[in-house]
Amino acid sequence: MRHAALPFLLAALAAPAAAQDSNTWSTMERGLYLFRLGDCAACHTIDEDRPMAGGLGLPTPFGTIYTPNLTPDEHSGIGDWTADDFHTAMTEGVRPGGERLYPAFPYTHFTHVTREDTEAIYAYLQSLEPVMNRVPDPEIPWPLSMRTAMRGWNLLFFDDEAGLEPAEGKPDEWHRGQYLAEGLAHCSACHSPRNLLGAEKDGPASYTGGVIEGWFAPSLRSTEGGEGIGDWSEDDLAKYLRYGRNGHTAAFGPMAEVVEKSTRWLSNADAAAIATYIKDLPYDAPDRVEMEEVSADDPVMQHGERIYATQCAACHGIDGEGVKNQFGRLAGSSLTQAENPLTVVRMVLEGARAVPSDKYPTPHAMPAFDWRLSDEDVAAVTTYVRNAFGNAAPAVSAETVAEIRE
Amino acid sequence: MTRILPEREVVVVGFGWTGAIVAEQLTDAGMDVLALERGYWTDTSTDYAVNNAQDEVRYRYRDELFEDLSRETLTFRNEVGQTALPMRMLGSFLPGTNVGGSITHWNGQAWRFLPSDFQARTHNTDRYGTGIFEEGMTVQDWGVTYDELEPHYDTFDKICGISGKAGNLGGEIQEGGNPFEGPRSSEYPNPPMRMVAAPLKFADAAQELGYNPFPGPSANMSQAYTNPLGVQLAPCSYCGFCEKYACGNYSKATALTTIVPALMRRENFTLKTGAMVLRVEKDRQNTRATGVTYIDTEGQEYFQPAQMVVLCTYITHNVNLLMQSGIGEIYDPRTGEGNVGRNYAYQAMSGASVFYDDFAVNPYVGAGALGQVIDDFNGDNFDHEGLGFIGGGYIAQWQTNGRPIESHPVPEGTPRFGAGWKRAVRDNYNHTIGVGAHGAVMSHRNNHFDLDPTYRDAYGRPLMRLTFDFRQNEVAMSAYLTDRVAEIARAMGGREVRVNPMTVPYDIAPYQTTHNTGGHIMGETPADSVTNKYNQSWDLPNLFLMGAGNFPQNPGYNPTGTVAALAYHSMKAVRDQYLANPGPLVQA
């Protein structure tokens, strides 16, 4: 018998209906599926040989915190947690003993996860090999180092009672998508802007894009051209999640890792449900202004065009058309025209690597150009691609490039 | 101290084109496959990014993709009786190294051989009598036929996404293709490359002279392509950096761009780099290979036991591994005995340059297999009665490149350096078209490999010795082909023509082609070959040898298509028969 059996049994008594099959093959399989959907390993696994042993340092605006060990080790992991404890941590951000978690752990999303689902994830985690690994304490200056301070943060930004609002007239698929996207998949954790205290902006500002690990996670709202993924169909989005590619672009940067570790495991039905929900997000951000394209006669555009023809056109095509499922299409691309040029500039400077999958095994990559293009060159060519082929977006300055290059 | 590793089902030695084909086919059949590669890991996006792949100094002149001759090389002489000397610089051919092998730097001219090429002895005897063969010529039949290989040529075409136009579909001659080719079961998977001015000028002249020009079959992509393994290739950008270079645009079919990305995802496949195989080990009774001995980059030696060993190294190294391992008898030209090292052959190249005053060629718009070809003088497509030779070659205008360091054609009489040379380069760079003949080399009793009595490699093994020269048949054939080249060149309307005949004796120093063949040839009986028609060793039935070393002689085409078709043909027999019943696939 596993050492976790006793607390587990108690938990089962507490919630008999959900727990009846907690230890079965199918529960653990479902737990693994949900665990992947939550992309838990992205933060809790740093060594593939010791999965979920934690210890990843997360640089937050307030200091570094280290992800906990979620293996069933009794001393350093969660071997002595009950399913109740796990559910409380997931949905309220509170550990057994009352210690509050920092919101780098997305309990503001996981609060939507049902008891049945946390139970399955718990069952899966308890089936892992226990690893003894004490993770370092957070390096956060006082007063935030007092975890009780999170009580105040929670008062401002977190309501564990608030459920997901059912929308009238929306199909079940939409609701399933809402449950997954707002909950375990926590899409808006990256794709929404954050306020000064590190909380996601909500309402119309949510899903309008955010900066994560120095990349701009684009808006997921469906506008006409420009920002957002208005030019993607639901099927395009579902394919992107499943395979890391669609006819428009490939996943790269942090999203490549999300596809690799998480969304590629989505069932077709769940990928479609998330796409249905995301594609239905209304676009009503108030501060959106129509972009006016930089004139083709502008000397910067002409400089950019020359660079584009010699450095970029071999793959992306002279008209920015790209090669379907191989080289990104720039004409009409929301990413290229995003108001924040961070990603497009980084792509040119550092290059990017698409994540290979069974469906698209070719590991396509864009090479780095930082060693051969000056700040002025990068500014010119990014301004060009943002304003050629029918695109329109603000010009990029050499100063902006210099800052990003730092 | 040699470390002994756990046994594997299949060990593949050398991880280039055939290594990838064999590993893909056998892992697909559920086998556990380990590939050992002496070089290091490479892939398109990491090593050959599109913004640094086109570097002439780094790749062509500093040999970055080629093998390191300071560790192992071969010695060379033209004639039995001469003293061979070690090749200290790459020249006549360019063996590759690293994951992907030599094919990473090919041009992409993807041919099938003619049906009659596989019966060179019986076909020519039937048509011309035994008198057609030069004294000492050791031409023989392959033991495999075009019809047997056709499905495998077809597989390879689809894996690569070959661009071209069929000339013979199921026996029906097709307009615009090669009317001489063997029947194909399907059209090329991609349409021909987009033609530029020079090949079209060649095609017009050839047509006027009554020949049958067609677009050359190309492993450069004429459009985006996804192969049956799901691996994607992108449209060629005609940058003119194919041969001697890796393609940075995913536009040239190679092991890396067609098979390796899918293969690396398979859990029953393992690749070990930095593993230099020194020899194949066999049991005391000389009945089977027991595995291979290799050395890693730290000098540690390992014995890797295996149930089946497949040699997929460069032609010369496959032959060398047999010799170093004492498998079979090394050929002796004096007695004619022994088969290992016998029937080495190469390629007979010649050409002509047409110089124009005004006609703009734009040679920098190029691709390795962008061209127009005639096959009217290849194989036995023309009557050889009274010509004094057998075989032939194709004649083509390939617009492969205008690379600035390598490519500066100048007319006859131009000074070799100085202001006069510079002026001539300036005047002619954009106004010259090259036409070439790509001729066969028939095997001859004096052309062969054996072990050098003097020189040794970095591992202490004797170097392999190559003895080769063009013989009477090649000289006569090449002279005939060069005359045809000159006729077409003169019909192309230029100011002047410079003819470049094949030079004799053969010189190993200048680059010609990378088409070495023979040395472990296939055939119908163990008396005159090393492998049977399935590339299986006659001596050790669990040892298979891939590559052009199997060719009994070298027809007038680039070898890659046939090398691949033979590999798929072999693997089909392994999957269908050998795995259930490991033993000889052909009873001797």
A364:B265 CB<8 A: no
Nearest chain A residue to B226, by CA = A360
pLDDT at position A17: 44
pLDDT at position B21: 98
pLDDT at position A285: 53
**Inter-residue contact B523 to B121 (CB < 8 Å):** no
pLDDT in tens, A302-339: 999 999 999 999 999 999 999 998 999 999 888 888 88
Stretch among A185-194, A222-231, B392-401 having the lowest mean pLDDT: A222-231
The minimal CB distance from B50 to the residues A315, A356, A359 is found for A315
pLDDT at position A226: 53
pLDDT at position A290: 66
Which residues from chain A sit within 8 angstroms of residue B248, using beta carbons?
367
As given in the structure block, the two tokens for residue B372 are 């127009």
B588 domain residue, yes or no? no
Average pLDDT, chain A: 86
The minimal CB distance from B45 to the residues A324, A325, A363 is found for A363
Nearest chain A residue to B264, by CA = A361
As given in the structure block, the two tokens for residue A145 are 């180092």
B265:A362 CB<8 A: no
Q: What angle do CA B440, B444, B449 make, to 5 degrees?
A: 100
pLDDT in tens, B472-525: 999 999 999 999 999 999 999 999 999 999 999 999 999 999 999 999 999 999
A361:B231 CB<8 A: yes
- Residue B282, domain extent: 3-578
A363 domain residue, yes or no? yes
A314:B237 CB<8 A: yes
Average pLDDT over residues A179-193: 93
Our CA-based measurement puts residue B40 at a distance from the nearest CA of chain A, in whole angstroms, of: 18
Which residues from chain A sit within 8 angstroms of residue B229, using beta carbons?
361
The minimal CB distance from A326 to the residues B46, B224, B261 is found for B224
pLDDT at position A287: 54
pLDDT in tens, B352-403: 999 999 999 999 999 999 999 999 999 999 999 999 999 999 999 999 999 9
Average pLDDT over residues A283-292: 62
The residues, ordered by sequence, that sit 6+ positions from B80 with a Cβ below 8 Å of its Cβ are B333, B334, B446, B467
Query: A205 pLDDT exceeds 70?
Result: yes
Which residues from chain B sit within 8 angstroms of residue A360, using beta carbons?
230, 232
> How far is Cα B483 from Cα B481, in angstroms, rounded to an integer?
5
CATH number at residue A180: 1.10.760
Count of domains forming chain B: 1
Q: From B341, B331, B321, select the one nearest B280 (Cα to Cα).
A: B321
Our CA-based measurement puts residue A310 at a distance from the nearest CA of chain B, in whole angstroms, of: 10
A326:B45 CB<8 A: no
Are both A32 and A142 inside the same structural domain? yes
B224:A323 CB<8 A: yes
Which residues from chain B sit within 8 angstroms of residue A368, using beta carbons?
49
Average pLDDT over residues B282-304: 97
B125 domain residue, yes or no? yes
Query: A25 pLDDT exceeds 60?
Result: yes
**Inter-residue contact B294 to B276 (CB < 8 Å):** yes
3-state helix, strand, coil in chain A (%, to 5): 40, 5, 50
A24 domain residue, yes or no? yes
A285 domain residue, yes or no? no
Query: B132 pLDDT exceeds 80?
Result: yes
pLDDT at position B456: 97
pLDDT in tens, B142-157: 999 999 999 999 999 9
pLDDT at position A8: 42
Q: From A140, A125, A3, select the one nearest A62 (Cα to Cα).
A: A140
pLDDT in tens, B198-250: 999 999 999 999 999 999 999 999 999 999 999 999 999 999 999 999 999 99
pLDDT at position A288: 54
Q: What is the SS3 assignment for A279?
A: helix
A294 domain residue, yes or no? no
Count of domains forming chain A: 3
Are both A128 and A215 inside the same structural domain? no
Residue that is last in its domain, among A217, A244, A279 = A279
**Residue B515 annotated among the catalytic residues of the structure:** yes
A361:B230 CB<8 A: yes
pLDDT at position A19: 46
Our CA-based measurement puts residue B166 at a distance from the nearest CA of chain A, in whole angstroms, of: 26
> How far is Cα B556 from Cα B116, in angstroms, rounded to an integer?
12
pLDDT at position B6: 98
> How far is Cα B1 from Cα B231, in angstroms, rounded to an integer?
42
Our CA-based measurement puts residue A241 at a distance from the nearest CA of chain B, in whole angstroms, of: 18
As given in the structure block, the two tokens for residue B157 are 């075409």
pLDDT at position A5: 42
The secondary structure of B459-473, three-state, reads: CCCEEEEEECCCCHH
The residues, ordered by sequence, that sit 6+ positions from B503 with a Cβ below 8 Å of its Cβ are none
Judge if pTM exceeds 0.80.
Answer: yes
pLDDT at position A213: 80
Are both A264 and A217 inside the same structural domain? yes
Our CA-based measurement puts residue B258 at a distance from the nearest CA of chain A, in whole angstroms, of: 9
A287 domain residue, yes or no? no
Query: A84 pLDDT exceeds 60?
Result: yes
A40 phi and psi, to 5 degrees? -60, -40
Which residues from chain B sit within 8 angstroms of residue A324, using beta carbons?
224
- Give the helix/strand (H/E) hosting B474: helix B472-490
B224:A362 CB<8 A: no
A224: confidence class by pLDDT, cuts 50, 70, 90: low
What secondary structure letter does DSSP report for A315?
Answer: H
What secondary structure letter does DSSP report for B7?
Answer: P
Which residues of A make CB contacts under 8 Å with B?
Answer: 311, 314-315, 323-327, 351, 353, 356, 358-365, 367-369, 372
Are both A274 and A222 inside the same structural domain? yes
Are both A15 and A136 inside the same structural domain? yes
Choose the mutation target among A326, A327, A355, A362 for the interface with B, i.e. most B CBs under 10 Å.
Answer: A362
pLDDT at position A7: 42
Nearest chain B residue to A370, by CA = B51
- Residue A76, domain extent: 5-150
Alpha helices (runs of H) in A73-112, residue ranges in sequence order: 83-92, 107-110
What secondary structure letter does DSSP report for A388?
Answer: S
A145: confidence class by pLDDT, cuts 50, 70, 90: low
Average pLDDT over residues A119-132: 93
The minimal CB distance from A356 to the residues B234, B235, B261 is found for B261
Nearest chain A residue to B49, by CA = A367
A275 domain residue, yes or no? yes
pLDDT in tens, B400-424: 999 999 999 999 999 999 999 999 9
Average pLDDT, chain B: 97
A63: confidence class by pLDDT, cuts 50, 70, 90: confident
CATH number at residue B137: 3.50.50.60
> How far is Cα A377 from Cα A360, in angstroms, rounded to an integer?
33
Query: A12 pLDDT exceeds 50?
Result: no
Our CA-based measurement puts residue B508 at a distance from the nearest CA of chain A, in whole angstroms, of: 37
pLDDT at position B142: 98
A367:B49 CB<8 A: yes
Our CA-based measurement puts residue A336 at a distance from the nearest CA of chain B, in whole angstroms, of: 21
A144: confidence class by pLDDT, cuts 50, 70, 90: low
Are both A139 and A64 inside the same structural domain? yes
pLDDT in tens, A349-380: 999 888 888 889 998 999 999 999 999 999 99
Number of A to B CB contacts under 8 A, please give it.
Answer: 60
The CA distances from residue A225 to A251, A339, A386, B480, in Å, are 20, 12, 12, 65
Are both A180 and A261 inside the same structural domain? yes
As given in the structure block, the two tokens for residue B543 are 């040892």
Q: pLDDT exceeding 70 applies to what percent of chain A?
A: 89
B587 domain residue, yes or no? no
Average pLDDT over residues B184-197: 97
Q: pLDDT exceeding 90 applies to what percent of chain B?
A: 97
Query: A197 pLDDT exceeds 90?
Result: no
Are both A247 and A133 inside the same structural domain? no
The minimal CB distance from B234 to the residues A315, A369, A372 is found for A315
B45:A364 CB<8 A: yes
Of B438, B515, B520, B569, which residue is the catalytic one?
A: B515
C-alpha B387, offset from chain centre: 28
Are both A232 and A325 inside the same structural domain? no
